[in-house]
Amino acid sequence: MELVIARPSPYARKIRVALIEKGIPCDITVDNPWLQNPRIQTINPIGKVPALITHSGDIIHDSKVIFEYLEIMFPSPKLIPINGTERITHKQVEAVCDGICDAVVLIAMEGTRPEENQSVAWVDRQTRKIYAGTEEINKRLNGKQSFTSMELGLAEIATVVMLEYLEFRFSEFDWRPQYPTLSKLISQISQRESFLETKPVGQTLPQH
Ligand SMILES: N[C@@H](CCC(=O)N[C@@H](CS)C(=O)NCC(=O)O)C(=O)O
């Protein structure tokens, strides 16, 4: 299998963490979707990383779908609970975390436009999503160290990936003093090999 990623991408990181946690061998191809004619455009019509090319040559994209695919094809260790309520909790947490990352990406891209074309109102709108989303994740964690009875699963992975992405691309949000439970979660999970090996690394963002 081959996974096409970008080094800073939190969506790709979710998948890379899952591959390592499940011990799945997979070639990793580094791409930059923001440059001219990136490889990803030839395999994902939406032009976004990550995309997975399976053993049979099928192409799967959007990180949510890839995560589900890995869970079905490589069920051990489980990263999404089978129980319906717990499963929805993991998916909901993932959706909020991805939404926060979407807002961070949009702010970063706004910063690549000439200053006179940048919209303060747009950046404020995205910033509100980041704050409200983080508040929601903290509420859902409710002082615990996991969202459900599963110790480490999609919800915890998506949360730690999102928090480290905030520290990487939106460091003006000093969330740690405000959210000690999230701070404890990140300090425990981010030391796993799967997280240490996949830390976000910057890439060129061309002017738009
Ligand atoms: N919902 C998608 C989001 C993927 C995404 O936004 N990837 C960004 C990089 S972090 C990208 O490739 N953007 C290129 C573009 O928007 O053209 C997923 O979960 O896979």
pLDDT, tens only, 130-183: 999 999 999 999 999 999 999 999 999 999 999 999 999 999 999 999 999 999
Give the model's confidence band at 95: pLDDT under 50 very low, under 70 low, under 90 confident, else very high: very high
Report how far ligand 1's centroid is from the alpha carbon of 42 (Å): 15
For all residues of the chain together, what is the average pLDDT? 97
Report how far ligand 1's centroid is from the alpha carbon of 49 (Å): 5
In ligand 1, the atom with minimum distance to the C-alpha of 47 is 17
Nearest CA to ligand 1 atom 10: 9
pLDDT of res. 206: 79
Give the model's confidence band at 204: pLDDT under 50 very low, under 70 low, under 90 confident, else very high: confident
**Average pLDDT value for residue range 185-205:** 95
Nearest to 207 by CA among 115, 114, 142: 114
Nearest CA to ligand 1 atom 15: 48
Does 99 sit in the ligand 1 pocket, CB within 6 Å? no
Q: Which residues have C-beta within 8 Å of that of residue 65, sequence separation ≥ 6?
A: none
Does 62 sit in the ligand 1 pocket, CB within 6 Å? yes
DSSP string, the chain: -EEEE-TT-HHHHHHHHHHHHHT---EEEE--TTSSS-THHHH-TT--S-EEE-TTS-EEESHHHHHHHHHHHS-SS--S-SSHHHHHHHHHHHHHHHHHHHHHHHHHHHTTS-GGG--HHHHHHHHHHHHHHHHHHHHHHTTSSSSSS-SSSHHHHHHHHHHHHHHHH-TT---TTT-HHHHHHHHHHTTSHHHHTT----------
Is a pLDDT exceeding 90 seen at residue 205? Answer: no
Kindly list the structural domains of the chain, giving each domain's residue range(s) and its CATH number in brackets, ordered by start: 2-78 (3.40.30.10), 84-195 (1.20.1050.10)
pTM > 0.75: yes
Does 31 sit in the ligand 1 pocket, CB within 6 Å? no
Nearest CA to ligand 1 atom 14: 48
